[in-house]
Chains A and B, each alone.
Chain A
Amino acid sequence: MSPFDVHAIRRRFPILERRFAAGGGPAEAPEGTGLVWLDAAATSQKPEPVLRAMDRFLRTSNANARRSVHRLAGEATDALEGARRRVAGWLGAGEDEIVFVRGTTEAINLVAWSYGRMTLREGDVVLVSEMEHHANIVPWQIIAGERGARVVPVPLADGIAVDLDALERLLAHERVRIVAMTHASNVLGTINDVARITQLARAAGAISVIDGAQAVPHGAVDVRSLGADFYAFSSHKVYGPTGIGALYGRRDLLHSMPPWQGGGDMIRRVSFSGTSFADPPQRFEAGTPDIMGAVGLHAALDFIDSIGQEAIRTHEADITAHALTALAAVPGLRLYGPDRPRSKDRIGVFSFALDGVHPHDAATVLDTLGIAVRAGHHCAQPLMTRLGVPALLRASIAMHTTRDEIDALVAGLDRVRELLG
């Protein structure tokens, strides 16, 4: 599919055919207003090939993986392991370094409960940044609390990016074991300098855990060139289904780690006198995995490649530049995050406040126009506190976003001000 044709791409997403009665209400309306999906950072919509792949798997190959010897079991196992190879290739990792999990949150919990619990001692420190999602704060608080360690936030420079000087100072003065940071902020849209962060962490003898939930949908990620020790992402934000995600873990680290959940699949031999565990990644995959989800994720990555990551990035950079210009012209709008569109600095996530209007009220007005945005604290309450706001509106783009949709948002914001300002 080349050159990039956003309208052709939109036709691959069935949900974009939905129409709402203009002015809200739950009713369907064939002639109504279209869906403007600007909540991609919360979850992506699913293209036809992903839906078809999951449907086909359930219709023709459904079985439990890694168990029985019949043909369907073989097909299910191939589907699961094929997806693992696909994800490994996607991240530049070995396939034995990819653990399937429910999503980014579970991936971070896995690292906390296995690696963190094994490593952290009284007085140790886990560094997180002020812009982290709760998923990259709370698991560390729980495990640090249990081990007598502390979770220390690294401040932001100008409220936009992780302050690398402050990170360096903290690494020099605290006994830091783990540096847990996001690749791209789900609120600010900032892309952090992860290669530099992991380098600083390594030099200080700490390991790095990178939350890639927002970064993976918007560009190629190579965990080796980033220098990440652990890297996590969720399928549902990259056009795949909910319920599955992947954790990359450096091979030697995964081998050194104890299991965090017990059950079938993760064992070598079980007896009442003692149980031995499987090698990674199976060691960390107790119970029947989400095979259908793995199939969907595989199809989603194929879909992205069929369009081209570079083409998607170029398109999203164009929409981002347009959005930043259009939003800057809205009276009383304050943007939180980088205001320059350079795609190496930011993703297409735009959080903002409107003078005198609460985000929830604005979001309800936009919803009646078919425009879906997020309003609230975005699971980043410490960041909201840092920015001094109770809540923000957030518009976030995907490969199928058009300039017209950004213009519809801006017109919607005019309506908001008319009604509530």
Chain B
Amino acid sequence: MTDDLADLYRELLMDHSRDPRNQGVPDRIDRRAEGDNPLCGDRVTVLLELEDGRIVDARFDATACAICTASASMMTERVRGLTIAEAARLFGAFRALLTGEPVPGADDALPDPDLGDAAALAGVRRFPMRVKCATLPWHVLGDALGPQAGAGAGA
């Protein structure tokens, strides 16, 4: 097996894709969004429970590849407890990790957000054709959070 491939399908990714966390529905569905990648047919639904502008619970349902499923699992794990603005900023950092572009707002003196398990998706960077697989759940999350999530998650 080659290094790029090993780095892509590392243990943590395969663990999240074989045994995805946070599938199903939250106690209360405050926000719901669905998105697909028309190129490949992958489809992701994100369900959120919010309280006082904070994500109390995040759940998902996906018909998707290992990268997309793992990304949704890692994302829902990581964004629980975050404010909408924090989640949006995290998406910016995640996208930067995958594309090699600078983190949006990196000059505002805040430390780069901690991506948690999602940092394990860095290997996707070597496979530009697959970046959209990893970012799809985050785009859907951005849609669920609405315009408040700002440019970091909505684009």
Contacts and interface: CB of A to CB of B under 8 A. Distances in A.
A13 B129 CA distance: 25
Interface of A: 22-26, 357-361, 364-365, 367-368, 375-377, 381, 384, 390-391, 415, 418-420
A83 B2 CA distance: 47
Contacts of B14: 420
A384 B41 contact: yes
B151 interface: no
Contact of B66 (A26, A361, A390, A415): A361
Contacts of B3: 23
Contacts of B43: 390
B38 to A, nearest CB: 9
Nearest to A362: B65
Given A23-B2, A419-B9, A358 B41 contact: no
A24 B39 CA distance: 22
B41 A368 contact: no
A63 B69 CA distance: 53
Nearest to B124: A364
B67 A361 contact: yes
Given A358-B65, A360-B65, A376-B40, A24 B2 contact: yes
A377 B2 CA distance: 28
A360 B130 contact: yes
A25 B9 contact: no
Given A365-B5, A419-B5, A24 B127 contact: yes
B67 to A, nearest CB: 7
Interface residues of B, number: 25
B63 to A, nearest CB: 5
29 contacts: A22-B2, A23-B1, A23-B2, A24-B4, A24-B5, A24-B127, A25-B4, A357-B66, A358-B64, A360-B42, A361-B9, A361-B65, A361-B67, A364-B8, A364-B129, A364-B130, A365-B9, A367-B129, A376-B39, A376-B40, A376-B41, A377-B40, A390-B42, A391-B41, A391-B42, A418-B1, A419-B1, A420-B9, A420-B66
A137 to B, nearest CB: 15
A360 B133 contact: yes
Interface string B121-155: 00000111110010000000000000000000000
A43 to B, nearest CB: 16
Nearest to B5: A368
Contacts of B39: 376
A408 to B, nearest CB: 16
Given A368-B4, A390-B41, A24 B126 contact: yes
Q: Which of A22, A23, A357, A381 has the most CB of B within 10 A?
A: A23
Contacts of B63: 390
A364 B127 contact: yes
Nearest to B127: A364
Contacts of A377: 40-41
B105 to A, nearest CB: 30
A375 B1 CA distance: 21
Interface string B35-65: 0000111110000000000000000000111
B100 to A, nearest CB: 13
A358 B4 contact: no
Contacts of B130: 360, 364
Contacts of B8: 364
A368 B40 CA distance: 19
A358 B70 CA distance: 12
A367 B130 CA distance: 12
Given A26-B128, A360-B40, A360-B65, 13 more contacts: A22-B2, A23-B4, A24-B5, A25-B4, A360-B133, A361-B9, A361-B65, A361-B67, A364-B130, A365-B5, A367-B129, A368-B5, A390-B63
A374 to B, nearest CB: 10
A359 B130 CA distance: 12
Interface string B96-107: 000000000000
A358 B66 contact: yes
Contacts of B67: 360-361
B122 to A, nearest CB: 15
A419 B10 CA distance: 10
Q: Which of A22, A364, A384, A420 has the most CB of B within 10 A?
A: A364
Contacts of A358: 64-66, 69
Nearest to B14: A420
A413 B67 CA distance: 18
A385 to B, nearest CB: 11
A384 B43 CA distance: 14
Contacts of A359: 65
A361 B4 CA distance: 13
Contacts of B69: 358
Contacts of A25: 4, 126
Contacts of A390: 41-43, 63
A375 B40 contact: yes
Top-6 shortest CB links A-B: A23-B2, A360-B65, A358-B65, A377-B41, A376-B40, A24-B4
Nearest to A391: B41
A391 B40 contact: yes
A117 to B, nearest CB: 27
